[in-house]
Structure 1
Amino acid sequence: MKLQYCIFFLLILNSMTFAQESQRAQKVIEKVSNDSQKGSFVLVPGPSYMPSTKLGLSLIGMYLFDANSGKYKNQDVNVPPSILGAFAKVTTNDSAMGAVGTQLFLGPDLWRISGGYFEGDILSEMFKVQLDRFIDTSNEIRAVLVNVNRRVWKKLFIGFGAVWNEVIFTSEGSVPLGTSNTGFKFNLFYDTRDNTFSPTDGFFLNTRTSFYRKDLGGDDNITTIDASFSQYFSLSDNGHLFSWIYDSSFNLGDTNPNYNYNFGSRGPRGYTGKVFEGANMLRFEGEYKYYFKSILSSRFGLAGFAGVGFVFGGRSRVGNDISSDLFDSDPLAHIGGGIRYKVLPKQNLNMRIDMAYGREDVFTMYFALNEAI
């Protein structure tokens, strides 16, 4: 156990060292670039821990740039920086995953275009109620996603997207459950945030309706609606920040257990994603952050968060019973805290390492270059 803690703190120290080196690299890039083509590059490693996949090490690389070549730099238009990024992660139980993607902000924040590819071979375990123990599982995933959105009124965006994914799930003693689906999406969101990386003011209302259809070459006819609302507050001029989120996902009509919302696999911290699952989900979470002006020129901060959520409906991938509706499902609460370090203070891009605890009675640890809320 002492060795694990030593490794953990060494990884944190190493992450901050890489972040500082990336900051120096950014200054070099900007020095040799002309004013219309300045870019910032960061390459940061960091630790994570899940009881189901054990200790993990991630490497995130991001290049931030102005896709409009400085055209709107001196105008009263707040255009977020565009991104080219890559992500890789390996864990001590031989899981591996990676992704590449981009997000482009074109014109006076008139178009928002994003796309990416993800592939992973995730070796894990899920709790089987009938056996009263965890069983070994394998999840092979490939996915491609493209979105094109246009601002139509004030901060209101409407757009469409296309998605393809393949999931092959295998559990101990069972045959593989493979699914391949193609779908299209309708996006509608309203965004008044003052920053797309770590907002301090404004709100973000985001809705996405996805249609998977056999007519498009897939295996299922599935319709999902995802909706979230997040809001951000600066409590004072002394670095006190608060944010909260309502997040939900609902599956309409046909369901496939490979598309269940595994509570903790995305979204809420403090859960492994290997115990509580369902076709539908809703949750609430709040987070408080404070940045110390006396430490590293306000680049270092602490965060605390807590939330509660529910999953229900559909069928379990390993045969467990799932509550049929919201009112029969059990509340899934979590609490936790973490550290923040501004890798790029000008863009307010933060590195975060969080630890959380939930109803599974285990601690989980997360590393990312984006905020959870």
Structure 2
Amino acid sequence: MKKYIVAVLMMFLVTNITLARTTDITVEGNEQQEITTHLNNVISSNDIVVLADTTPILSKRALRRQRVAKRNLHYNILGGPSYTPDFGLLVGGSALMTFRMNPSDTTQRRSVVPMAIALMFKGGLNLMTKPQLFFKGDRFRIFGTFSYKNTLENFYGIGYTTNKDYERGKETSEYRYSGIQVNPWFLFRLGKSDFFAGPQIDFNYDKITKPAPGLVEQPSYIAAGGTEQGYSNQSSGLGFLLTYDTRDIPANAYKGIYLDFRGMMYNKAFGGDNNFYRLEIDYRQYKSFGRRRVLAWTAQTKNVFGNVPLTKYVLSGTPFDLRGYYMGQYRDKSSHVVMAEYRQMINTDKSTWMKKMLSHVGYVAWGGCGFMGPTPGKIEGVLPNLGVGLRIEVQPRMNVRLDFGRNMVNKQSLFYFNMTEAF
């Protein structure tokens, strides 16, 4: 618990320093009034000089803030010591960039590029970005996941019973993992509707070395071709996406619906080692209850079929759904998740420095449940989940999140630090 508290305080301190140096004004459709109010609050009465003819002139500080607000590219960089449940103590850094592809079009959605880097004290490196790029008046989008990892990870077997009872440790589950993922999605708006469709590509290379003695003896590891020297796999797939999206801002929606249906075919003909398939459905909805108060809920199903590689089974429990379960602690061919999360930022009049700082802070509380099994219709395990979190706004509608989730099956609590919301 002390590690969690230190991590929160360090990240909160760095974030406040960043906030003190960076101001971002985002204008997107219905947000015009909110951003105008934000500008009025940023430029206080102390920033205005009134001449004899009563003509107000902005001070140098206010002019500087206006120049920052007019920039197309806005960014925040956070860094310092941190802690994650999967990698332990680390030195981490996160960057959040927002910009418009066409700077002259102020009605265009701002593209969002969150990036994260982590250097582990145990030895390891993790790089990841999940960009959301909007082109041509939001008629074309490029989303995706791009990552490189060289870390110590854990494998608990396959199936609920094995996962639940398998002991985590250096002699039982640990191994050295290195791998890359390149997974871009290309989405085209269908006419003037809120539907998008398009192809996606997924290339992965996964390598396991230094497997723990207990891992080498696992039946699922042996069946997949794992040995004392390790395991490697390359998977290459082509797929499609059909998406319905009415969210006001995808990175942190206050209202709207998101429905995503996608399929992926991995084949040896594409350069992979296995033939298998992946099918996912993701439903999310957001309801606003006043200024910066939101109830969000989601229902998701992820399924794989065929000769699935050891590293491509579906995971139940990630930083983006059942927070509180170790990454990969529960894996099988099918996973279903239902969750609801209440989000609220603190609303103040910003009349003092302290109130301005509080206006960048918020909190969340969530509850949900996961279901897993060997096929979509066969449920072998139930994974209840709940938690609370702190939100720190580094740009308007762009938050750093610090979450504390509870694993109700194994009676453990885990801490997370990420950019943007979980879903």
- For this structure pair, what is the TM-score category when the shorter chain's length is used for normalisation? 0.7 to 0.9
1:304 alignment partner in structure 2: 365
Give matches, 1:29-178, under 5 Å.
Answer: 31=67, 38-45=72-79, 49-71=83-105, 73=106, 79-100=108-129, 102-114=131-143, 117-127=146-156, 133-134=167-168, 135=172, 136-153=174-191, 154-170=193-209, 171-173=211-213, 174=216, 175=227, 176-178=230-232
Give SS of 1:271's match: coil
Q: Which amino acid aligns with 2:312?
A: Y
Please list the CA deviations of residues 213-245 of structure 1 after superposition, one character each: whole Å capped at 9, or x if unmatched.
Answer: 1011110111101110000011234x4311001
Please list the CA deviations of residues 38-96 of structure 1 after superposition, one character each: whole Å capped at 9, or x if unmatched.
Answer: 2211112376544442234431113211102223x2xxx5x321234432012333232
Give 1 or 2 for the bigger CA radius of gyration: 2
* Distance 1:66-1:203 versus aligned 2 partners, 3 A rule: same
TM score, norm. by length of structure 1: 0.85
Give matches, 1:196-345, under 5 Å.
Answer: 196-237=250-291, 239-265=292-318, 267=320, 268-294=322-348, 295=355, 296=357, 298-313=359-374, 326-345=377-396
Mapped to 2, the partners of 1:64 and 1:132 lie a distance apart of 43
Is the CA contact 2:339–2:367 (under 8 Å) kept in the aligned structure 1? yes
* Distance 1:132-1:289 versus aligned 2 partners, 3 A rule: closer
- Listed as ranges, the gaps of 5+ residues in structure 1 are 314-323
> Per residue, is there more strand in 1 or in 2?
1
Greater shift, 210-219 or 170-179, is seen at 170-179
Greater shift, 212-221 or 41-50, is seen at 41-50
Is the CA contact 1:50–1:272 (under 8 Å) kept in the aligned structure 2? no
Q: CA deviation at 1:125?
A: 3.0
* Distance 1:94-1:202 versus aligned 2 partners, 3 A rule: same
Q: Which amino acid aligns with 1:206?
A: D
Mapped to 2, the partners of 1:43 and 1:22 lie a distance apart of 11
1:354 alignment partner in structure 2: 403
Give SS of 1:208's match: strand
What is the CA RMSD across the aligned residues, in angstroms? 2.7
Q: Which amino acid aligns with 1:54?
A: G
* Percent of aligned pairs with the same amino acid: 21
Is the CA contact 2:111–2:133 (under 8 Å) kept in the aligned structure 1? yes
Is the CA contact 1:186–1:209 (under 8 Å) kept in the aligned structure 2? yes
Check if 1:179 corresponds to 2:237: no
- Listed as ranges, the gaps of 5+ residues in structure 2 are 26-62, 217-226, 349-354
Q: Which amino acid aligns with 2:11?
A: I
TM score, norm. by length of structure 2: 0.76
* Distance 1:327-1:49 versus aligned 2 partners, 3 A rule: farther
Give SS of 1:197's match: helix
Q: Which amino acid aligns with 1:334?
A: N
Is the CA contact 1:292–1:299 (under 8 Å) kept in the aligned structure 2? yes
Q: Which amino acid aligns with 1:11?
A: M
Give SS of 1:8's match: helix
Q: Which amino acid aligns with 1:58?
A: G
Is the CA contact 2:177–2:208 (under 8 Å) kept in the aligned structure 1? yes
* Distance 1:352-1:22 versus aligned 2 partners, 3 A rule: farther
1:371 alignment partner in structure 2: 421
* Distance 1:6-1:104 versus aligned 2 partners, 3 A rule: closer
Give SS of 2:411's match: coil
Give SS of 1:133's match: coil
Q: Which amino acid aligns with 1:253?
A: G
Q: Which amino acid aligns with 1:302?
A: Y
Greater shift, 328-337 or 111-120, is seen at 111-120
Please list the CA deviations of residues 10-40 of structure 1 after superposition, one character each: whole Å capped at 9, or x if unmatched.
Answer: 323333224314525889697169x5x6221
Aligned residues: 352
Q: Which amino acid aligns with 2:403?
A: D
Q: CA deviation at 1:146?
A: 2.1
